[in-house]
């Protein structure tokens, strides 16, 4: 553990640093399993990487407060601190950037912004997409815990746009995101990357397909 930072009351940034001889080779959008073996407990949790694969030693994760997740409980309870050892298994998952030069549209809900952030940073590093658009839904007060970073991208890059929305209901929030997509820049000739709870992903997927977006241009990750 390199550092643990508070992004919001119910969200922590977990920063792990690998040994120089054991860097993690991963693709943007992938996940790993994190493990702790302390005090007789063996805790495991799968989380998406929030960092760019261009830095394969420094790994970032957005950990939400979750009473059903023993790993998160340990972190929020102060049982994990700088210098502690965390085992990393992976990477896994195929929620990665597809080859091509179409505009990219990203949609995230709450802490599912993690793989989306990784994908955006990788896409910016590649400089291959003509434009990037982000639609981020928050279902709780601290859901937009990196809004300043998103605005900084938008202000610094002519090719990047961001729309932040809030709704307590995931499904209605997803419908709100779909309406924003259609109103702002909807184009079926884009690649769409969706990450969030199952209802969020399913609702947006249905809306995009109904609008005529071909299935091979829709990529999704349920988190």
Residue-level pLDDT at 38: 67
Residue 147 CB partners (closer than 8 Å, separation 6+):
164
Query: Please, what is the average pLDDT of the chain?
Result: 94
pLDDT digits (tens, 9 = 90+) for 99-110: 989 999 999 999
**What's the whole-model pTM score?**
0.95
pLDDT digits (tens, 9 = 90+) for 25-45: 999 999 999 998 766 677 899
Residue-level pLDDT at 208: 92
Residue-level pLDDT at 56: 92
Distances (CA, A) of 94 to 27, 129, 130: 9, 19, 23
Residue 139 and residue 167 in contact, taking contact as beta carbons nearer than 8 Å = yes
**Mean per-residue pLDDT, 117-121:** 97
Answer whether residue 184 shows pLDDT above 80.
no
Q: Count other Cβ atoms within 10 Å, centred on residue 99.
A: 6
Please report which helix (H) or strand (E) contains residue 154, including its range. helix 147-156
Residue-level pLDDT at 209: 93
**Mean per-residue pLDDT, 7-28:** 96
How far is Cα 141 from Cα 20, in angstroms, rounded to an integer?
Answer: 38
Confidence band for 96, pLDDT divided at 50, 70 and 90: very high
**Mean per-residue pLDDT, 102-121:** 97
Residue-level pLDDT at 185: 59
Structure tokens at 104: 């990219």
Residue-level pLDDT at 188: 72
Confidence band for 186, pLDDT divided at 50, 70 and 90: low
How far is Cα 119 from Cα 93, in angstroms, rounded to an integer?
Answer: 13
pLDDT digits (tens, 9 = 90+) for 122-176: 999 999 899 999 999 999 998 999 999 999 999 999 999 999 999 999 999 999 9
């Amino acid at each position: 553990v390199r550092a643990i930072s508070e992004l919001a009351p119910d969200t922590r940034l977990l920063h792990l640093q690998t040994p120089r001889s054991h860097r993690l080779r991963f693709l943007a959008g992938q996940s790993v399993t994190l493990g702790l073996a302390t005090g007789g407990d063996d805790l495991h949790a799968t989380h998406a990487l929030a960092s760019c694969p261009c830095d394969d030693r420094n790994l970032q994760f957005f950990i939400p407060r979750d009473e059903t997740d023993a790993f998160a409980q340990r972190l929020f309870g102060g049982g994990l601190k700088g210098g502690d050892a965390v085992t990393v298994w992976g990477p896994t998952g195929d929620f990665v950037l597809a080859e091509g030069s179409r505009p990219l549209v990203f949609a995230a809900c709450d802490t599912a912004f993690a793989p989306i952030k990784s994908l955006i940073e990788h896409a910016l590093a590649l400089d291959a997409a003509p434009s990037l658009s982000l639609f981020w839904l928050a279902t709780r007060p601290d859901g937009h815990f990196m809004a300043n970073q998103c605005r900084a991208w938008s202000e610094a890059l002519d090719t990047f746009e961001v729309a932040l929305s809030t709704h307590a209901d995931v499904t209605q929030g997803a419908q709100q995101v779909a309406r924003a997509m259609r109103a702002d820049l909807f184009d079926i000739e884009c690649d769409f990357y969706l990450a969030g709870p199952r209802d969020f992903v399913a609702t947006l997927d249905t809306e995009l397909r109904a609008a005529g977006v071909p299935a091979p241009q829709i990529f999704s990750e349920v988190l």
